[in-house]
Chain A
Amino acid sequence: MSFQPTSELEAEVSELISHYPVKRAASLMVLHAIQEQFGWISSDAVQWTAKKLELQPINVFEILTFYPMLRQEPQGKYAIKVCRTLSCALGGAYELHQHFCAKLGLDAHKHGPQTTKDGKFTVEFVECLASCGTAPVMMVGEKFYEGVSHQKADEIVGGCQ
């Protein structure tokens, strides 16, 4: 299976490349654009990106493997990120993460992102999301939630259809 970019993605990538005097600089933004459309970045997508930016695939791959937000495999339809770092931990982030895992049948002690069997949710315990005054905070996809009580967490999950 080869990578099939949509015409929108082609246009977006051309626009992104135009932002830099050196094509390579667009690589992170191009990977973001691919992930936004497809949910993850396949090795075919890496090859395609490398060709677009006149790079070796390894130049793209080394970025993909470094940045925590970039995915090498599909994730759930709803990506839940719970902030783990100190201020949120003081505000109950561990309990919140545990709550999500228990509710969705995942193991709170496992490292890294975990996806439910039905592929609907991915839960990840992430580092500081920079909203420490409203702890605990979390994201679902691009949406941001603050001061998340367990009740609010249930409502958020309930709202994911």
Chain B
Amino acid sequence: MAQEYKLILKHADAPGYTPDIECYLRQGGYDALKKALAIQPKDLADGKKLSGPEQIREDVKVSGLRGRGGAGFSCGLKWSFVDRKSGKPIYLICNADESEPGTFKDRQIIHKDPHQLIEGMIISCFANDVKLAYIYIRGEMPEGAKILNQALKEARAKNFLGKNILGTGYDLEMHVHRGAGAYICGEETGLIESLEGKRPYPRIKPPYFPAILGLWMCPTIVNNVETLCNVKHIVTMGGAEFAKLGTPNNTGTRIVSLSGHVKRPGYYEIEVGKATLRELLYDKNFGGGLRDGRQLKAIIPGGSSSKVLKAGEKFKLKKKDAEGKEILVETDMLDLPYDFDSLAQAGTMSGSSAIIVMDDSVDIVKALANLSEFYAHESCGQCTPCREGSLWMNKTLQRLTHGEGRASDADYLGKIADNIPGGRTICAFGEACSWPVQSFLAKFKDEFVAKGAADEDRRAKEVSAPEQKQLEAAHH
């Protein structure tokens, strides 16, 4: 049976564990930082020397760590893109703008174990020659910002931050920067613009890859909260040991946010790929099953932007047989291992590892209308297809959920959704707002058509409100 595996959340919910530095130090806190700072240069076979920071960067590559924010991109590779020859300062930003609907994992780390994040950040900064770093936390987490500020103060007092950290000659300063309620700030170049004090309009890539032209046009690393925490554990365990957690190419652990119609919604840390969706939904140590008497209708498996999975859907998953030959195995959506690659094979993604469960009580049209309202509200407005498209989709879905639908609305929605993504917009928000619409339509089209047709039918037999009034007056 699948089990939780607590690496990042090892202490967070332990009885008596508090977010202050003394408590963190009692649990071996900042030992990984001391270890990282003490790494001696290593001689290579070709006579070259590998510095401590270079060794950490190599180890992060070896660990196979993939970004926990949504895209699942290799952290080691991301770091390797950083322009180290520009002569400009290198900045690091922690993306704590957790705002993908369904996701509430970073909140746990920030509120309960802030020093783990800060230690992970200091190590990451040391590994990348960063002297100034920011934590960009969403505005709706004022308490989290206070906790982080307090933790930074404590870390400074112990000389884990500031000048000449622990006598090593390494200087690093770190500050908290608060957002103010805009989802687009989670997009890394939008976040950078926001930090610079501008509207968070994402930048076009190329040329504005953060690793080259990021914050103030300097090389910049933007990593998710959970990703940065993992760096601490990679230093503690060693990259090779870390890579044994999880499954090949899907290493380490992930904190899964489970919400919606399960008996035990909540956050569960698992080894990546070591639990299936079925286990996460139904096992008693995870979701505990659906509400009594209810059947599963659909799952949004990786945050609201990921493509929906319909109950009973089957996918062909690539697997290796006994002789190591690649074969295709038919797999029910519930039997998908919860990792990056299996969900990608099923045409969706594990994104921010947030699962939203919907049972058969859900009006699927209403559910999509809810999400579309979110995207219409959050489009930054920079690119026409996204700004107009997200609004059109929302308007169409609102009329479908308010008795004003048409049978043709399903096709109309599909047409709009198909014309937003695919290189027509500066950032991936275009994809993010279209994927739910495209996938809901692909899998539940009959419900959209039926709803629109029923509305048309009803309206055809209706007398208009003013006419009704006149009729009533005439009858008196």
What residues of chain A have their CB less than 8 Å away from a CB belonging to chain B?
A: 19-22, 24-29, 31-32, 53, 59, 62-63, 66-70, 81, 84-87, 89-91, 126-135, 139, 142, 144
Taking the complex as formed, is B261 at the interface, i.e. its CB lies under 8 A from any CB of chain A? Answer: yes
Complex partner residue of A130 from B140, B180, B266, B356, CB under 8 angstroms: B140
Are A90 and B181 in contact, CB atoms less than 8 angstroms apart?
no
B104 at the interface (CB under 8 A from A): yes
Contact of B377 among A20, A62, A127 (CB under 8 A): A127
In the complex, the answer to whether B143 meets A133 with C-beta atoms within 8 Å is no
- List of 8 A-B pairs having minimum Cβ-Cβ separation, nearest first: A67-B180, A132-B259, A69-B181, A68-B181, A27-B197, A87-B259, A24-B197, A69-B180
Q: Does B103 contact A (CB under 8 A)?
A: yes
Nearest chain A residue, comparing its CB with the CB of B304: A86
Q: How far is the CA of A106 from the CA of B248 in the complex (A)?
A: 55
Please tell me if B371 contacts chain A, counting CB pairs below 8 Å.
yes
Asked if residues B356 and A86 are in contact (CB atoms below 8 Å), the reply is yes
Find out whether the CB atom of A67 lies under 8 angstroms from the CB atom of B181: yes
B residues 168-200 touching A (CB-CB < 8 Å): 175, 177-183, 194-200
Taken together as a complex, chains A and B put the C-alpha atoms of A70 and B197 apart, in Å, by 14
Which residue in chain A gives the minimum CB-CB distance to B134? A19
List A contacts of B99 (CB < 8 A): 127-128, 130
- CB of A139 within 8 A of CB of B180, answer no
Q: How far is the CA of A142 from the CA of B142 in the complex (A)?
A: 6
Chain B count of residues within 8 A CB distance of the other chain: 53
Confirm or deny: B257 has a beta carbon within 8 angstroms of a beta carbon on chain A: yes
Candidates A68, A131, A139; contact of B104 at CB < 8 Å: A131
Given the complex, which residues of B lie within 8 Å of A69, measured CB to CB? Answer: 139-140, 180-181
Q: Which residues of B contact A27 (CB under 8 A)?
A: 197
- The answer to whether the Cβ of B260 comes within 8 Å of any Cβ in the partner chain is yes
Contacting residues, chain A, for B259 (C-beta < 8 A)? 87, 90, 132-133, 135
Contact status A132-B101, CB under 8 Å: yes
For the complex, what is the distance from the CA of A39 to the CA of B30, rounded to whole Å?
39
Please judge, given known A-B contacts A26-B197, A90-B261, A132-B356, whether A85 and B180 are in contact too, CB under 8 Å. Answer: no
Contacts of B198 in A (CB 8 A): 24, 59, 62-63
- Quick one: which of B178, B258, B265, B373 contacts A28, CB cutoff 8 A? B178
Cross-chain contact B260 with A32 (CB below 8 angstroms):
no
Q: Quick check: B140 and A129 within 8 Å, CB to CB?
A: yes
B107 within 8 A of partner (CB) = yes
- Report the bound CA distance from A154 to B199 in whole Å: 38
**Known interface pairs A25-B195, A25-B197, A135-B259. Does A128 touch B374 (Cβ–Cβ under 8 Å)?**
yes
Contacts of B180 in A (CB 8 A): 28, 31-32, 67-70
Q: List, in ascending order, chain A residues with CB within 8 A of B354's CB.
A: 132
- Which chain B positions have C-beta within 8 A of A132? 101-104, 257, 259-260, 265, 354, 356
* Contact of B267 (CB < 8 Å), options: A25, A28, A133: A133
**Chain B residues closer than 8 Å to A62, beta-carbon distance:** 198-199
Q: Chain A residue with minimal CB distance to B215?
A: A25
Most buried by B among A24, A59, A66, A129: A66
Say whether B196 contacts A130, CB under 8 Å.
no
Can you give 25 contacting A-B residue pairs, CB < 8 Å? A25-B195, A26-B197, A28-B180, A29-B177, A32-B139, A32-B178, A62-B198, A67-B179, A68-B180, A69-B180, A69-B181, A84-B374, A86-B371, A87-B101, A87-B265, A90-B356, A126-B181, A127-B99, A130-B99, A130-B106, A130-B107, A132-B257, A133-B257, A133-B258, A133-B265
In this assembly, does B138 line the interface, its C-beta being within 8 Å of a C-beta of chain A?
Answer: yes
B339 to chain A, nearest CB (A): 21
Interface check B141, CB cutoff 8 A = yes
- How close is A30's CB to chain B, nearest CB, in angstroms? 9
Q: Which residue of B lies closest to A36 (CB)?
A: B142
Chain B positions within 8 Å of A144 at CB level: 143
A85 to B368, alpha carbons, bound, how many Å?
11
Expressed in whole angstroms, the Cα–Cα distance for A128 and B140 within the complex equals: 9
Q: How far is it, in angstroms, between the C-alpha of A19 and the C-alpha of B132 when the chains are bound? A: 9
Expressed in whole angstroms, the minimum distance between the Cβ of A114 and any Cβ of chain B is 17
B267–A85 CB distance below 8 A: no
CA distance A26 to B199 in the complex (A): 13
Cβ of B374: which chain A residues have Cβ within 8 Å of it?
84-86, 127-128
Please measure, in the bound complex, the distance between the C-alpha atom of A90 and the C-alpha atom of B216, giving whole angstroms. Answer: 42
In the assembled complex, which residues on chain A have CB atoms less than 8 Å from the CB atom of B261? Answer: 90
Contacts of B208-265 to chain A: CB distance below 8 A: 216, 257-261, 265
Contacts of B199 in A (CB 8 A): 62-63, 66
Cβ of B295 under 8 Å from chain A:
no
Q: Name B373's closest neighbour in chain A (CB-CB).
A: A84
Measured between C-beta atoms, what is the minimum distance from B97 to chain A in Å? Answer: 10
Q: Given the complex of chains A and B, what is the CA–CA distance between A84 and B179 in angstroms?
A: 19
Q: Are A127 and B183 neighbours in the complex by a CB distance under 8 Å?
A: yes
Q: In the complex, what distance in Å separates the CA atom of A9 from the CA atom of B75?
A: 40
Q: Report Cα–Cα, A29/B140, bound state, in Å.
A: 13
Least CB distance from B224 to A in Å reads 13
A134 to chain B: closest residue by CB: B265
- Let me know if A87 and B194 touch, CB within 8 A: no
Q: In the complex, which of the residues B140, B141, B194, B373 has the most CB atoms of chain A within 10 Å of its own CB atom?
A: B140
Interface pair A63/B140, CB less than 8 Å apart = no
Interface centre among B99, B143, B177, B216, by most A CB within 10 Å?
Answer: B177
Are B102 and A87 touching (Cβ within 8 A)? yes
Question: Which residues from chain B contact A126 at a C-beta distance below 8 Å?
Answer: 140, 181
Residue ID in chain A nearest B178 by CB atoms? A32
Q: Which residue of A lies closest to B185 (CB)?
A: A67
Bound Cα distance from A73 to B356, whole angstroms: 36
16 extra interface residue pairs, beta carbon distance < 8 Å, beyond A24-B197, A87-B265: A25-B195, A28-B194, A29-B177, A29-B178, A85-B101, A86-B102, A86-B304, A90-B259, A90-B260, A127-B181, A128-B102, A131-B107, A132-B103, A132-B259, A135-B265, A139-B140
The answer, yes or no, to whether B2 is at the interface (CB within 8 Å) is no
